[in-house]
Structure 1
């Protein structure tokens, strides 16, 4: 199974969502999981992972981690050409470096070309920026490229984004 994760913040709470699917080409999720974190860590410039990682850790407790073979994060694995760790790398090390992580970002970082592959989907002239750890970057990019949907952002990642921002039930 593959899980794509994202976190959305409102006031003093965070909503974490995981969209679980079996194959990169799937049009529907196998399962959608949700967790809430009260009073998440405050945002610190340059330390985004400190805010996001604890929320993802709580979310992942709702899965059978042994069934997950890839984690997709909204963001970067590496932030620059010197491999400064980004959220994806911290997620990877959190799981003892046993589950490959693919980062999918909508915007570029300056001085971050060496470990990023741009992909273009649909008719968009704007790329997605793919990074990865423990999976070949070209393979990671091909997986995201092959995801279901005709637009720039793959259907299941768009679903994840919408679920994450949906009002708390």
Structure 2
């Protein structure tokens, strides 16, 4: 199984969306999970993005780790060509290297490594880094993902879901 994951946070709450899918070109998810937590996220420190997002990602992905092959994150696996660890590398280590992690970044981090991928009509490349597979293979997989635009459909879906307030069970038709 494959998944895209993204986390949104404010000063008091974080929301993580996990979008599961079966095949790289899939246009729709097989399952979507949104997890919300009340806490104060770690302070933003350039190059240490993992401090804010890693706990949220681990919590949301944990029930699926036995079935996940690859997790696609919004961010970097490696911050530079010397192997400085980004969110993706920290995630890979936190799950005992049991899954591949592909990082898809929208902007180039100063001195960062990665393969540039142009999608759709965009002239702004995505920067792809990976652990568990080489960057060029990861870039081909990202290129093959569904979507006519720069950001693959299911990665964009994870971003969208992470920004939406979680509805209480009574609000969305579920029984309490």
| Pairwise TM-score range, normalised by the shorter structure | over 0.9
Corresponding position of 2:154 = 156
Is the partner of 2:66 in helix, strand or coil?
helix
Show the 5 A alignment for 1:6-155: 6-45=6-45, 46-61=47-62, 63-112=63-112, 115-155=113-153
Q: Any idea what the Cα deviations from partners look like across 1:66-86, whole Å, max 9, x if unmatched?
A: 110001111000111221100
Larger radius of gyration: 2
Is the CA contact (8 Å cut-off) linking 2:13 and 2:40 kept in structure 1?
Answer: yes
Q: Any idea what the Cα deviations from partners look like across 1:118-140, whole Å, max 9, x if unmatched?
A: 00000100000000011121110
Q: Please, what TM-score do these two structures have when normalized by structure 2?
A: 0.90
Residues in 1 aligned to 2:42 and 2:162: alpha-carbon distance in whole angstroms:
19
Q: Bigger CA drift: 41-50 or 88-97?
A: 41-50
**Which blocks of at least 5 consecutive residues in structure 2 are unaligned?**
168-176
Is the partner of 1:67 in helix, strand or coil?
coil
Q: Any idea what the Cα deviations from partners look like across 1:84-108, whole Å, max 9, x if unmatched?
A: 1000001100110121100000000
Is the CA contact (8 Å cut-off) linking 2:26 and 2:145 kept in structure 1?
Answer: yes
Q: Please, what TM-score do these two structures have when normalized by structure 1?
A: 0.94
What stretches of structure 1 move > 6 A for 4+ residues in a row? none
Is the partner of 1:27 in helix, strand or coil?
coil
**Which blocks of at least 5 consecutive residues in structure 1 are unaligned?**
none
Residues in 2 aligned to 1:78 and 1:64: alpha-carbon distance in whole angstroms:
24
The CA RMSD over aligned residues, in Å, is: 1.2
Residues in 1 aligned to 2:43 and 2:116: alpha-carbon distance in whole angstroms:
27
Q: How big is the shift at 1:167?
A: 2.3
Residues in 2 aligned to 1:47 and 1:142: alpha-carbon distance in whole angstroms:
27
Is the partner of 2:99 in helix, strand or coil?
coil
Is the partner of 1:18 in helix, strand or coil?
strand
Q: How big is the shift at 1:168?
A: 2.9
Q: Any idea what the Cα deviations from partners look like across 1:9-54, whole Å, max 9, x if unmatched?
A: 1231100110000000001001001111211432241422111111
Residues in 2 aligned to 1:136 and 1:47: alpha-carbon distance in whole angstroms:
23
Is the CA contact (8 Å cut-off) linking 1:16 and 1:56 kept in structure 2?
Answer: yes
Residues in 2 aligned to 1:120 and 1:44: alpha-carbon distance in whole angstroms:
29
